[in-house]
Structure 1
Amino acid sequence: MTDLSGVNLNRLVVFAAVVEAGSLTAAADRLGIAKTMVSTHMQRLEAEVGASLLVRTTRRVSVTEAGHAFYAASRQILSTAEDAISALAQGSGDLRGTLRVATPIDYGTNVIAPMLAGLRRTHPELKVELVSADRMVDLVAESVDVAIRLGRLADSSYRAVKIGGFVKWLVASPEFISTWGKPTKPEALAKLPFVAMSALVKPLVVSIESRRGARRTVRFSAGFFADTSPTCRAATLAGGGVAFLTDFSIGDDVAEGRLVRLLPEWSGAPAGIHAVFPSARQPVPKVRVFIDALKAHLAGGVDVV
């Protein structure tokens, strides 16, 4: 059995911060300590474990093959420790440690960030890290406690809790409509400029269904491509074209007249919003509290548990 007496396990926190932040300076800012202290911790950790973990350059650090393996193990150790502390704190009602949440960019901006701000007010000892990305985040590899997934869930070993749903609407700005006219049938859409999400497999193809159950597929021939949903929204507000956007991201714009729904009897098929977390263990208190708080937030409640 490996003797851990010669290894300062507190350095794992610093090492994880360096890997995640990408540089000694950024890690120092994240941890609130001096850069020289971060460097010292890394030098001593490498000496203690007997392996080179980082390759240092002037501006950033890269992780060695051994470092990648050690980082994955370190994050598991830190996550287990945080879960244990969080479980102990449950009895007192106080949450501690770090809650790392992954979410699509638009949902993070419109829903998760405001909700987490309220959660922090209720549990000030809980640190929050929000990872917003329009890609599939690997929960284990990126040490994510819980991820928000929109739409159909891929088969996986993760546990999932449905927290809500959404639809997509066809929208355009009033200025765009005044120039191009307002379509009255789905077939007329294909002739219009389109603001497309480039991250989608088929960014220029839109599937819609009517309230009566009819279905249509619209194939746009030209488009304004953007790589994030907020950018698509911004381009649409500026008159860049028709867009197919989630109701939670542009609902206020439609209600206040900044955007207009086209063919309001048509929309995307209803889809689910799920909170996903590793299934190797029961959801820890901070994840359970997050899910309950999000459900209350979506239901229009003002209290955050």
Structure 2
Amino acid sequence: MQRDVNLNRLAIFVALVRAGSFTAAAGQLGMTKAMVSQHLLRLERELGVTLIVRSTRRMALTEAGAAFHTDCVRLLEQTEAAIERIGNRRNTPTGTLRLTTSTDYGMSVVAPALAEFRRLHPSLQIDLVINDQISDLITERFDLAIRIGWLRDSSLRAARLGSFRQLVMATPAYVAEHGVPRRPEDLSTHPWIAMSALTAPLRWTFTRGSGTRRVVRMRQAMQANNAAAIRALVLSGAGVSVLPDYLVEDDIQAGRLQVLLAQYRLPEGGIHAVYPDPQPPAKVRAFIDFMRDRLAKR
């Protein structure tokens, strides 16, 4: 039959045996001698056995008390070790970091970042899941997600890591054949490659330095549901589209793509780490700090 035992009294019992007297134990525990005695009496009542025989001058463990003391010492040592281990997990990145992000951002930014992050934390395991769908972090047991663009309302926690620019892109060969658009309105005459995942893939708002806003509706020629696929279509000369800066930096430097209407700006998108744990473990906090620093240097 299971007994209802106050486990806090086990520590008092061990401290009493270690101190050798009620007076010494009371001083070490910061309580009165009467309170120590009361806790021992209640523990013995809960267990149904006598643990210590005592007189006005001395005390001694019973046979049952000696056996129980050995078990209590082992239990408290295991408890202290467990507390120390969880403290280490709180302060040191350990275990497996399981995260998810979109295909284009995952391939171009997150995967290289994870390789460098693990070099800093070689004992950490990494599990990266590339998925253009919004994953359920709790059900699928993700530590965090890196999400691009504009966050949806949710009960998850979010940390902003940085932002990205949206750029109108085309190949030099395409521009040579079709001409350079001078105004945002000129884009409506060009074949547009639309991002079908957007709520309004053909409607774009351009802003110039003075704050003047121009809204343009594009003429769709093709569409795709993934930024990497749109980049491939633009590179093949199929038309014009908007691409995030992190995906086309190398193409611009290599001359494969060029920015159109550079004097205008499109709305910037956010880069966020989203996580379910209100007290994220060290591995999550470390990766958020690492990504924030890395993106700030881009």
Common topology (TM > 0.5): yes
User: What is the CA RMSD across the aligned residues, in angstroms?
Assistant: 2.0
1:293 aligns with 2:276: no
The code of the aligned residue for 2:293 comes to A
Change (3 A) 1:86 1:179: farther
- Deviant stretches of 4+, over 3 Å: 84-87
Q: How many residues align?
A: 215
CA deviation map 1:177-222 (0-9, x unaligned): 1111111111110110112222222222222222221222222222
Equivalent residue, structure 1, for 2:88:
88
Equivalent residue, structure 2, for 1:170:
168
Equivalent residue, structure 1, for 2:257:
259
Aligned counterparts, 1:118-267, within 5 A: 118-267=116-265
Tell whether the 8 Å contact from 1:86 to 1:285 is kept in structure 2 after alignment.
no
The code of the aligned residue for 2:95 comes to G
**TM-fit CA distance, 1:90:** 5.5
Aligned counterparts, 1:1-40, within 5 A: none
CA deviation map 1:145-167 (0-9, x unaligned): 11112222222111111110112
CA deviation map 1:80-113 (0-9, x unaligned): xxxx96753465x5x3321111112221112111
Rounded Cα–Cα distance in structure 2 between residues aligned with 1:215 and 1:276 = 31
Change (3 A) 1:85 1:202: farther
- Mean alpha-carbon deviation: is it higher for 197-206 or for 261-270? 197-206
SS in 2 for 1:124: coil
Change (3 A) 1:245 1:87: farther
Rounded Cα–Cα distance in structure 1 between residues aligned with 2:230 and 2:86 = 39
Rounded Cα–Cα distance in structure 1 between residues aligned with 2:161 and 2:224 = 28
Equivalent residue, structure 2, for 1:117:
115
Change (3 A) 1:97 1:190: same
The code of the aligned residue for 1:154 comes to R
The code of the aligned residue for 1:132 comes to I
SS in 2 for 1:139: coil
Q: Which 5+ residue runs of structure 2 have no aligned equivalent? A: 1-83
SS in 2 for 1:170: strand
Tell whether the 8 Å contact from 1:87 to 1:284 is kept in structure 2 after alignment.
no
Q: Which 5+ residue runs of structure 1 have no aligned equivalent? A: 1-83
Change (3 A) 1:262 1:121: same
